Amino acid sequence: MKVQLNLLQVPNSMKNTINRKIDQSHGRLYYALLDIWVLVLRSIRHITKNPDQLLGSTIQPIMFMLLFRYVFGGAINTGGVSYVNFLVAGILVQTLAFGALTTSLSVATDIKRGIVDRFRSLPILNSAVITGHVVADLVRNFISSIVLIITALFIGFRPEADVREWVMIFALALLFTFSVSWIAAIMGLLAKSVESVQWMGFFFVFPLTFASAAFVPTDSMPWFLRVFAENQPITHIIEAIRALMVGTSIGNHGWISLVWCVSSLVISIPITAYLFRKRSM
């Protein structure tokens, strides 16, 4: 094989000032944003290069939607709203929550493969790797949401939202994705293995989505479950999105959802940054 290297000679007099064509003409913020951009592109490429994952995270919620619409739905009383109109907000939020867990898998995989070490030895913004994965979750969830809502239209979903309300629905959906992804990043950084992170995410999201107003009205639940279900964050987000979609009463759900998402981010982002600096193989 031909091995011909052409590294620059490094004379002693030139130490530390070698011309390595490194662009240093911009400020720190520029490079921080550049680092994030390069790593966002990396994570988005993972979506297109690993279509199985996108397919899985899009098909599974559609199966759930069909299951609830046609199998369980007939037995569930949702008062003034048709069951399919009631259901879509719940399925959507569940899809977002599970989709946002992809960050935990991506982060755990990067650690296992030594890629995190490689990035940590580079002169880049510390948390750019994780930001890349988090932004990729936003893109993936956006695609899954659109496919889910269009499919829902075929099985009788009749939303009443106007353009302004759809914009608010997607804004809330993405904010929710963003806050779950940063929690998922913490799981990915703490996990002992890629397998264990999958279980961690499942145990975190499963109870929150099923013990909620996603699939049935909470007033059908026993009192203890009902107290939990009515006060946990996912229910507020579901109720807010449902209200915007089909015109149920929004009450305080919108504000409470925002407070949950923002305060979760305020806590999880610094924790992630701290763990990322500490975490090594």
Partner 1 sequence: MKNDITEKSAIHIRGLKKTFGNVKVLEGLNLSVQRGTMLALLGPNGAGKTTTVRILSTLLTPDEGEIYVNGFDVVQEAEQVRHNIGLTGQFAAVDEFLTGRENLVMMGRLYHLSKAESVRRAEELLEQFDITPAADRPTKTYSGGMRRRLDLALSLIAHPPIIFLDEPTTGLDPRSRLTMWGIIENLMKEGATILLTTQYLEEADKLADQIAVLDHGKIIAIGTADELKATVGSEHIHIVIEKISDFDKALTMLARDGLQSNKEEREIRVATDGSVRAVKEILDILYSEQIEIDAMSVHKPTLDDVFLELTGREIEGDESTTESTSSSK
Residues that bind partner 1 (CB under 8 A): 1-10, 12, 15-16, 18, 20-24, 31, 34-35, 38-39, 41-42, 45-46, 49-50, 113-115, 117-124, 280-281
Q: Would you say 88 and 65 are in contact if contact means Cβ atoms under 8 Å apart?
A: yes
Single out the residue of 256, 230, 245 nearest to residue 89, CA to CA. Answer: 245
- The smaller minimum CB distance to partner 1, of residues 1 and 63, is found at 1
Give the whole-angstrom CA distance, residue 128 versus residue 122. 11
Contacts of 55 (CB under 8 A, 6+ apart): none
Q: Please give the structure tokens belonging to residue 232.
A: 């946990």
Contacts of 140 (CB under 8 A, 6+ apart): 47, 54, 57, 99, 102
Q: Least Å distance between CB 100 and partner 1?
A: 20
- The smaller minimum CB distance to partner 1, of residues 49 and 164, is found at 49
Rg over alpha carbons for the chain, rounded to the nearest Å, is: 22
Q: Least Å distance between CB 206 and partner 1?
A: 23
Q: Least Å distance between CB 119 and partner 1?
A: 7
Q: Please give the structure tokens belonging to residue 233.
A: 């964050």
Contacts of 114 (CB under 8 A, 6+ apart): 281
- The smaller minimum CB distance to partner 1, of residues 31 and 142, is found at 31
Alpha-carbon distance values, 154 to 190, 216, 250 (Å): 42, 21, 26
Residue 31: how many other CB atoms lie within 10 Å = 16
Give the whole-angstrom CA distance, residue 157 versus residue 245. 10
Q: Least Å distance between CB 143 and partner 1?
A: 17
Q: Least Å distance between CB 121 and partner 1?
A: 4
- The smaller minimum CB distance to partner 1, of residues 43 and 218, is found at 43
> What residue type is 60 in one-letter code?
Q
- The smaller minimum CB distance to partner 1, of residues 1 and 163, is found at 1
- The smaller minimum CB distance to partner 1, of residues 88 and 105, is found at 105
- The smaller minimum CB distance to partner 1, of residues 46 and 226, is found at 46
Q: Least Å distance between CB 6 and partner 1?
A: 7
Q: Please give the structure tokens belonging to residue 25.
A: 């003409």
Q: Least Å distance between CB 45 and partner 1?
A: 6
